[in-house]
Amino acid sequence: MKLLFIGDIVGEPGRRCIQKMLPELRRRLDLDFVVANGENSAGGSGITTATAGEIFGAGVDVITSGDHLWDQKEVTRLLDDEPRFLRPLNYPEGTPGRGSAVFVARNGQKVGVLNLQGRTFMPVLENPFPAAASAVEILRQQTGVIMLDMHAEATSEKIAMGRFLDGKASLVAGTHTHVQTADEQIFPGGTAYISDVGFTGPHESVLGREIEPVIRRFVTNMPQKFGVASDRILLQGCVVDIDETTGRSRSIQRLSEKF
């Protein structure tokens, strides 16, 4: 089966990009299942029911999130009412929403999707490693095809998670830094890995934001409003070919296409 994971969708440009490009990508790449990180889809910070609706309407099957989860107050409605929206699993018990679930792809294959947040240089949550081990064990009772969105800052933490789950997950892919890395590979146990899939939105920017306010912030240390940029929009992510019988990945390919 073919799975596409789309990197962080940033603001209206990112949403418009997937609305226009994803239907054609589904046909051209013969995609069975699409996951996207949507935590920056609402004005570049957080997600709302409306922006989630646009993303699902474009053809995304599951939306994951990360440290900007709570930036829009209406996210609680998504957490309570939308089973296709995941938050990082390693929040404390009792937090609204869920961090993993099994879904059905267009070809009928069951796919387990897991969302975790790292702890290095990030807001401190529960340890993602035992959380990952427990969740994967539960998901594997229903399917061998499992993907993880590892939303984390430190490359070492992401690689360690990939190695930790090698042979247990089909894909471990990083998000959060918005810079696509060139280290895509298949680990010995059959797990596809990439440290960061990049972001979907305006790349004539600083990580999707207007350039000058960010520079002023670094130069002056004074607060600035970081508006979403608008130019050179790219759709970034990775495409993984997975053996449905074993759950092992056959290949992983970076995707970076201009809108």
**Interval 192-218: pLDDT, tens:** 999 999 999 999 999 999 999 999 999
| Model pLDDT, residue 27 | 96
Question: What does the block give as tokens for 67?
Answer: 């440290």
Closest by Cα among 60, 73, 61, 68 to 11: 68
Q: Which amino acid is at 182?
A: A
Question: What does the block give as tokens for 200?
Answer: 């979907």
**176 labelled catalytic:** no
Residues of the chain predicted below pLDDT 70: none
Catalytic one of 68, 151, 176, 178: 68
| Model pLDDT, residue 163 | 98
| Model pLDDT, residue 200 | 98
| Model pLDDT, residue 18 | 97
What is the rounded CA–CA span in Å between residue 249 and residue 240?
7
**Half-sphere exposure (CA, 13 Å, Cβ side) for 136?**
25
What is the rounded CA–CA span in Å between residue 158 and residue 143?
23
What is the rounded CA–CA span in Å between residue 67 and residue 16?
23
What is the rounded CA–CA span in Å between residue 62 and residue 38?
9
Q: Which amino acid is at 178?
A: H
Give the SS3 label for residue 172.
strand
pTM for the whole structure: 0.96
Closest by Cα among 66, 83, 172 to 122: 66
* Domain boundaries, given as residue ranges, for the chain: 2-258
For the chain, the average pLDDT equals 97
| Model pLDDT, residue 182 | 98
Question: Within 10 A of 101 (CB to CB), how many other CB atoms are there?
Answer: 18
| Model pLDDT, residue 186 | 98
Angle at 29 between CA 189 and CA 237, to 5 degrees: 60
| Model pLDDT, residue 243 | 98
**Are 205 and 174 in contact, with CB atoms under 8 Å apart?**
no
Given the candidates 3.60.21.10, 3.30.70.580, 1.20.120.1200, 3.40.50.300, the CATH classification of the domain at 2-258 is: 3.60.21.10
